[in-house]
A and B are shown apart, each in its own frame.
Chain A
């Protein structure tokens, strides 16, 4: 009945208001009729207040026009009729349980040089949950598969112990839930919930930065779980000591167990990822097409998979077979952008800006380390990100010999393995240049 009354009212409001007003303020409202009247649920306080101030008299007037609603009380509250669709825990705490993604398993994780150590560490933790390395901290740039490995640990624990309480959530969700618990006066229940889990998986802990109360509460949860030998897996976009606004005691605890970096995948791994994902979709992706996509999406796995989804969705919609031409069409913005921008000039400008030197320094004969290292970095990036040959690259760097370029590529590869600073510079520049 609420639907009927509300639907009638909606139809009139849609006629009276501009589409923007209707879609912004009226469409998000959900109606629920009860014995005493009609309740409109707004998604937040902001919408509630706006609706009350601007539309409530008009809604009341319309409702009064319907015989069956003459006696209805009308109120606007903050809430949602669909919130219940989020699975609630069976333990009666009423706290939402975000299910693990069942597709994120170790089998589905494509291993390469960039992530093999992280995978081995995660497997080891999953096989001996709470006993070997606690916590496991996976860190590295965005979209590299940290969340996948984290879910894989959770899924493996559930395989071995189907009754285990494994909770996965994003750190922002922890903060939001804690704020709600504080508002509702249910902090004890909140803390009890997290302290009682068998395994806690928290994504992107860098978002705890500057949230002192959240850090305080999480510190207690952390200690309680550690004392009981319950496994924790954390992810972060950088090494915790580099997070500003994070308490020192948390920084040291986060790296108390095993800390492993996940690095961007190299070309062959990106190709393998694409082929595996396509196979999972029932598509036999030719290798040359996988290479084509992988060469154009270098920044991270998430964007690589996003590109593949776009290609496959377009192929399904148009009925066109996946081909280089079809991929070029599906990813035309991305391909055009890369082909337009990734010249040696662009790389030189980006590197010079990054190291705060002049572009002309890169082309000069100067051999001081402050110039030579950026020059080697720029040469290595030019080799990785463009199709230019070694002599062409050498020519573009003040007429140098191709062996100089080769030496630069080898030197940077060597330094990436031995110096975290160089590795990070390379990663940052690569991302910057490829739109990651």
Chain B
């Protein structure tokens, strides 16, 4: 019956923008400042962080900031791993190259030689390389010692997770962008009972948006509880 009452929610997904403005820096201010600064000399930054901690967002934001200054930037996602080292050809002409999940590229000497050549090309031109991994380079196995020592000499940052205050700010901002009012009691309930990962938290906000729209109801604690119960114990089809 509730399904009959629900309005069909025509969802126009809010387009995510990966910029520094959308990134809640929290204890990562030094990293954000380093990535946002204009590139005046060669820079290699290694970002370590758990899945869902915002690494991909930061890499793409760093490309956007270079682009906004009129520079050229390339983001290399893990989806291109199967293409091998050819993906890196010519990227040394970019002002910034950002390689996500670099661990997926490592281990094969031919690919690492391509990465080393890219590193040298960027170094020769005074450009910048930003890479992301779940761990710091000292804990990563490389096939080429030459690449290993260069990566281990990079500016290495481990992303510090957001505290509740930071998570609240992100959640409120996201809800507000969706035209949803997040009252303090509801926000507190979500923080206490919702998922800890920021990515999952924002997924929850997405689903709450759809649910409030479908039900034509405002966001309340019982509605959040209902959705969290469904997530934990999904109804059988």
- Is B76 an interface residue, CB under 8 A from the partner? yes
Residue of B nearest to A206 (CB): B146
> Within the complex, which residue of B71, B73, B116 is in contact with A172, where a contact is CB–CB below 8 Å?
B116
Tell me which of B13-21, B175-183, B191-199, B211-219 binds A: B13-21
- Is B169 an interface residue, CB under 8 A from the partner? no
- Is B36 an interface residue, CB under 8 A from the partner? no
B60-A20 in contact (CB<8A):
yes
Residue of B nearest to A86 (CB): B125
The residues in B between 34 and 79 inclusive whose CB is less than 8 angstroms from any CB of A are 34, 48, 56, 60, 63-64, 67, 71-77, 79
A204 partner residues in chain B, CB cutoff 8 A: 146
> Within the complex, which residue of A14, A78, A170, A332 is in contact with B120, where a contact is CB–CB below 8 Å?
A170
B145-A306 in contact (CB<8A):
no
Contact string against A for B residues 78-100, beta-carbon threshold 8 Å, 1 for contact and 0 otherwise: 01100100111111011100100
A333-B138 in contact (CB<8A):
yes
The residues in B between 117 and 145 inclusive whose CB is less than 8 angstroms from any CB of A are 117, 120-121, 124-125, 136, 138-139, 145
- Decide if the interface of chain A is mainly helix, strand, loop or mixed: helix
B138 partner residues in chain A, CB cutoff 8 A: 333-334, 337, 435
How far apart are B110's CB and chain A's nearest CB, in angstroms? Answer: 10
A285–B149 Cα distance when bound, in Å, is: 24
B9 partner residues in chain A, CB cutoff 8 A: none
A306 partner residues in chain B, CB cutoff 8 A: 152-156
B117-A23 in contact (CB<8A):
no
- Is A303 an interface residue, CB under 8 A from the partner? yes
A20 partner residues in chain B, CB cutoff 8 A: 56, 60, 75, 77, 79
With contact pairs A46-B89, A303-B152 given, residues A98 and B124 touching in the complex (Cβ less than 8 Å) = yes
A317-B30 in contact (CB<8A):
yes
A80-B93 in contact (CB<8A):
yes
With contact pairs A172-B120, A310-B156, A435-B138 given, residues A300 and B95 touching in the complex (Cβ less than 8 Å) = no
A305–B93 Cα distance when bound, in Å, is: 26
B95-A45 in contact (CB<8A):
no
The total of chain A residues at the interface (CB under 8 A) is 55
A80–B89 Cα distance when bound, in Å, is: 12
A41–B60 Cα distance when bound, in Å, is: 20
B64-A23 in contact (CB<8A):
yes
> Within the complex, which residue of B74, B88, B120, B124 is in contact with A24, where a contact is CB–CB below 8 Å?
B74
Q: List 12 A-B contacts (CB under 8 A).
A: A19-B16, A27-B63, A27-B75, A44-B88, A46-B83, A46-B89, A85-B125, A96-B124, A172-B116, A303-B149, A431-B145, A436-B148
Given contacts A43-B72, A436-B148, 14 further A-B contacts (CB under 8 A): A23-B18, A23-B74, A27-B73, A28-B72, A30-B72, A43-B91, A86-B124, A143-B149, A173-B117, A173-B124, A207-B113, A305-B153, A306-B156, A310-B155
